[in-house]
Amino acid sequence: MAKILIVDDERLILEMLSAFVRIMGHEPVDAISSRQARERLAQIQPDVMLLDIMLPDTNGIDLCRELRQEAATAELPIIIISAHAPPKIREAEEAGATAYLSKPVNLQSLRAALSNIGIPEAPRR
């Protein structure tokens, strides 16, 4: 079971992504801002981060760039999520994102993105 940090300020999207993560047998940890994401990162070591671009404080691309500069998070897989797909993909890649998902995210696209970075669905008990 992987621990997945989900960072999105839209409550419905946060709840939906958390539900998808649980369906896949993993543990979701949520944050609604980059500040809160940093607090969570100080408390836990997630296996991957799902990071929205549009946040109320620092945008997700800037946060991704900052996390790549820190030893503790330099290798953390970060999947950028945004409704502003094509124009932001290159910017996300340049910031160090591991992958990119366009909103609306569905269960199948999340499964594929996680599987591509080595986090398969957890076996059911």
Q: What is the CATH classification number for the domain harbouring 42?
A: 3.40.50.2300
Give, for 100, the enclosing helix (H) or strand (E): strand 99-102
CA distance 99 to 81: 9
**Cβ partners under 8 Å of residue 40, min gap 6:** 5, 29, 31, 46
Per-residue pLDDT reduced to its tens digit, 4-16 = 999 999 999 999 9
Give the pLDDT score at 91. 87
Residue 65 amino acid letter: R
Q: Is residue 89 included in any domain, yes or no?
A: yes
Q: Is residue 92 included in any domain, yes or no?
A: yes
CA distance 51 to 78: 7
Give the pLDDT score at 118. 94
Count of domains observed in the chain: 1
Per-residue pLDDT reduced to its tens digit, 23-66 = 999 999 999 999 999 999 999 999 999 999 999 999 999 999 99
Residue 65 lies in domain = 3-116
Give the pLDDT score at 49. 98
Q: Is residue 125 included in any domain, yes or no?
A: no
Parallel, antiparallel, or unpaired: how do β-strands 3-7 and 27-31 relate?
parallel
pTM of the predicted protein model: 0.94
Give the pLDDT score at 85. 65
Per-residue pLDDT reduced to its tens digit, 60-103 = 999 999 999 999 999 999 999 988 766 778 888 999 999 999 88
**Whole-number Cα distances in Å, 2 to 11, 67, 94:** 22, 20, 26
